[in-house]
């Protein structure tokens, strides 16, 4: 070969090789967002009565965060923030959504999946959605269901619309209910009974799992739900197979997209109520249905790890594992979560739980794993799920416009273990707002209920201001507001400023 041609080819190789290598090495991203899993519910966070070996593996070879937060103590606002990079309390109507709510995220919003799409990723959502679907008053469950996940940045989706305890009890693949039978149309109502299906209220004898609070509308699979549903017999999910179905969808997504960089938002239903683990997992924890659901969640994570291993994708995949809000025992069904607790502490050393403005409401497990690229560590950096958007935008060199993801901060260095600090402050939300700055936490005064007798959770509301020193009092036992009025004032002002400026980025 002519010498100058060889030199030319060498130059070509020098120029293009890094681009080719970069294209191949773009990491896949999987966010696993568990439901109602508490800070103390995993063995890697100190649980001794329950073992979660697969999830612990992520912690062992990755970073385990001790001060990571969801933005809110319930599902809908928490997930809204994770996907949009905005605090949900800025937007009306983002409380726990009924199963027939309209889509809460406006199409065209710069969402987390949209950022990945722009960066050349193939994106998918599998599992719990609970962010509404369709346009206000125009949703037809028997037709094309839109807008939904596909209109806000996902290339494909396989979701349950709301929660396991809310109708409709169906899966939706992309724009359509799965297994739809046009001769048996689905009708949903959250206001009045429809159809002839029995209800928990009128036919309690038909229930296989009794309700302890609410959950007394249409009975589906022997379980009373929130919301009425008629028709759609062929479309109903089977509660005890849900974990298997969702894992299978997640695994197929990974297998089908193994050649591309992909982003998977995997939101298992576990460990939300109704807790109906598969027969393979019943009795595995010795702690009743709640413990078995944790066991099942760990199994699901193990299945994802296994498929990544078998495809040799593990080293090039970032897995984030977290939970949408804190723990609850009796969340409205008699499933022996309280009776069989066996000394386990779902909130770990924190006060409160799901629904609470005390820390257990929103301080959640948060693990990140990226073998080869992240060194194993425990990080005390203050981080929030709202930051995933700006951080992954940064990883992908995607610019955010001023009005995009207004509360999302770039904490990529903390996520990758290159820094031990995250954000300077963050806001917690449980109806009432609180702000954490460094070691201090201020909870704004609230006349709302202090204590929820149904869930047995301290909600943390108090008509007077509360100030806690989280470093020396992680359990929020000593209100120091009277002792440090200046600190209270400064934090109240900071909270007010973040509210009124409409942004925290
Ligand atoms: C509550 C439900 C609870 C759960 C929660 C939402 C009753 C008595 N309680 O209203 O069971 O569904 O809403 O949970 O109905 S979340 O994790 O999706 O936010
Ligand atoms: Ca939840």
The pLDDT profile of the chain, 505 residues, written as one tens digit per residue, is 555 655 555 655 555 544 444 445 799 999 999 999 999 999 999 999 999 999 999 999 999 999 999 999 999 999 999 999 999 999 999 999 999 999 999 999 999 999 999 999 999 999 999 999 999 999 999 999 999 999 999 999 999 999 999 999 999 999 999 999 999 999 999 999 999 999 999 999 999 999 999 999 999 999 999 999 999 999 999 999 999 999 999 999 999 999 999 999 999 999 999 999 999 999 999 999 999 999 999 999 999 999 999 999 999 999 999 999 999 999 999 999 999 999 999 999 999 999 999 999 999 999 999 998 999 999 999 999 999 999 999 999 999 999 999 999 999 999 999 999 999 999 999 999 999 999 999 999 999 999 999 999 999 999 999 999 999 999 999 999 999 999 999 999 999 999 999 999 9
* Cα 230 → chain centroid: 29
Nearest alpha carbon to residue 232 among 275, 172, 291, 283: 172
CATH number listed for the domain at residues 29-186+231-423: 3.40.720.10
Ligand at shortest distance from the CA of 160: 1
For ligand 1, pick from 96, 430, 454 the residue to mutate: most ligand atoms within 8 Å of CB. Answer: 96
Please check whether residue 307 is in contact with residue 261, taking contact to mean a CB–CB distance below 8 angstroms.
no
Ligand 1, atom 13, lies closest to the CA of: 96
Ligand 1, atom 17, lies closest to the CA of: 75
Q: Is 244 in the pocket of ligand 1 (CB under 6 A)?
A: no
CB proximity list for 454: less than 8 A, separation 6 or greater: 212, 213, 330, 332
| 91 C-beta neighbours (distance < 10 Å), count | 14
Q: Is 165 in the pocket of ligand 1 (CB under 6 A)?
A: yes
DSSP state of 103: P
CA distance 172 to 129: 10
For the chain, residues classed under CATH 3.30.1120.10 are 426-501
Question: In angstroms, what is the span from residue 211 Cα to ligand 2's centroid?
Answer: 18
Ligand 1, atom 18, lies closest to the CA of: 75
CA distance 255 to 267: 18
- The 377-379 sheet, strands edge to edge: 176-177, 172-173, 156-160, 122-128, 262-267, 28-34, 317-323, 366-369, 63-65, 377-379
Which pLDDT score, from 0 to 100, does residue 21 have?
44
Please state the pTM of the whole predicted model: 0.95
Nearest alpha carbon to residue 240 among 284, 276, 204: 276
Ligand at shortest distance from the CA of 323: 2
- Ligand 2 ion: residues within 5 Å (CB): 35-36, 75, 324-325
Ligand 1, atom 4, lies closest to the CA of: 331
DSSP 71-89: SBSSHHHHHHHHHHSS-GG
For ligand 1, pick from 81, 132, 163 the residue to mutate: most ligand atoms within 8 Å of CB. Answer: 163
Strands 28-34 and 262-267: parallel
Q: Is 335 in the pocket of ligand 1 (CB under 6 A)?
A: no
Which pLDDT score, from 0 to 100, does residue 22 have?
46
Question: In angstroms, what is the span from residue 43 Cα to ligand 2's centroid?
Answer: 20
Which pLDDT score, from 0 to 100, does residue 25 have?
73
Rounded to the nearest 5 degrees, what angle is found at the Cα of 449, between the Cα atoms of 74 and 77?
15
Which pLDDT score, from 0 to 100, does residue 438 have?
93
Rounded to the nearest 5 degrees, what angle is found at the Cα of 323, between the Cα atoms of 265 and 117?
20
**What is the helix (H) or strand (E) element at residue 399, kind and residue range?**
none
CA distance 36 to 353: 9
β-bridge partners, 500 = none
Q: Is 88 in the pocket of ligand 1 (CB under 6 A)?
A: no
CA distance 290 to 271: 7
Question: In angstroms, what is the span from residue 490 Cα to ligand 1's centroid?
Answer: 35
For ligand 1, pick from 332, 337, 353 the residue to mutate: most ligand atoms within 8 Å of CB. Answer: 332
For the chain, residues classed under CATH 3.40.720.10 are 29-186+231-423
Q: Is 74 in the pocket of ligand 1 (CB under 6 A)?
A: yes
What is the fold, at CATH topology level, of the domain defined by 426-501? Arylsulfatase, C-terminal domain (3.30.1120)
Looking at ligand 1, which atom is closest to the CA of residue 332?
A: 8
Question: In angstroms, what is the span from residue 331 Cα to ligand 1's centroid?
Answer: 7
């Amino acid at each position: 070969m002519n010498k100058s041609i060889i030199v030319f080819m060498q130059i070509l190789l020098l120029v293009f090789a890094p681009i080719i290598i970069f294209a191949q090495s773009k990491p896949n991203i999987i966010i696993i967002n568990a439901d109602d899993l508490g800070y103390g519910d995993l063995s890697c966070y100190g649980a001794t009565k329950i073992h979660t070996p697969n999830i612990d593996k992520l912690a062992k070879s990755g970073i385990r965060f001790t001060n990571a937060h969801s933005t809110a103590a319930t599902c809908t606002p928490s997930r809204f923030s994770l996907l949009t990079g905005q605090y949900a309390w800025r937007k009306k109507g983002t409380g726990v959504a009924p199963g027939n709510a309209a889509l809460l995220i406006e199409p065209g919003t710069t969402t987390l999946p949209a950022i990945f799409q722009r960066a050349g990723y193939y994106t998918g959502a599998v599992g719990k959605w609970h962010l509404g679907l369709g346009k206000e008053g125009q949703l037809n469950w028997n037709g094309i269901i839109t807008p939904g996940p596909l209109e806000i940045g996902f290339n494909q989706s396989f979701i349950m619309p709301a929660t396991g305890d809310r109708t409709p009890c169906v899966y939706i693949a992309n724009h359509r209910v799965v297994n739809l039978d046009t001769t048996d149309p689905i009708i949903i109502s959250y206001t009045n009974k429809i159809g002839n299906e029995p209800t928990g209220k009128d036919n309690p004898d038909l229930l296989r799992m009794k309700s302890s609070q609410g959950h007394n509308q249409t009975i589906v699979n022997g379980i009373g739900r929130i919301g009425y549903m008629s028709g759609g017999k062929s479309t109903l999910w089977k509660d005890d197979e849900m974990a298997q179905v969702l894992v299978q969808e997640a695994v197929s997504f990974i297998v089908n997209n193994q050649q591309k960089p992909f982003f998977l938002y995997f939101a298992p239903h576990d460990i939300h109520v109704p807790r109906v683990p598969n027969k393979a997992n019943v009795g595995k924890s010795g702690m009743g249905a709640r413990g078995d659901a944790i066991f099942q969640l760990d199994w699901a994570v193990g299945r994802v790890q296994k498929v990544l291993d078998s495809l040799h994708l593990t080293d090039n995949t970032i897995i984030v594992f977290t939970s949408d809000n804190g723990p609850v025992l009796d969340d409205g069904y008699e499933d022996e979560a309280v009776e069989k607790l066996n000394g386990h502490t779902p909130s770990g050393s924190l006060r409160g739980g799901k629904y609470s403005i005390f820390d257990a409401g929103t301080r959640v497990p948060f693990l990140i794993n990226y073998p080869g690229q992240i060194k194993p560590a425990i990080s005390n950096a203050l981080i929030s799920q709202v930051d995933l958007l700006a951080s992954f935008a940064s990883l992908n060199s995607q610019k955010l416009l001023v009005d995009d993801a207004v509360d999302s901060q770039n904490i990529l260095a903390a996520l990758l273990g290159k820094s031990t600090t995250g954000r300077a402050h963050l806001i917690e939300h449980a109806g009432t707002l609180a702000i954490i700055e460094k070691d201090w936490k201020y909870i704004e005064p609230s006349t709302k209920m202090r204590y929820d007798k149904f869930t047995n959770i301290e909600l943390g509301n108090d008509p007077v201001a509360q100030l806690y020193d989280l470093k020396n009092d992680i359990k929020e036992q000593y209100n120091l507001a009277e002792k440090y009025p200046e600190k209270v004032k400064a934090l109240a002002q900071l909270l007010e400023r973040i509210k009124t400026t409409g942004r925290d980025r």
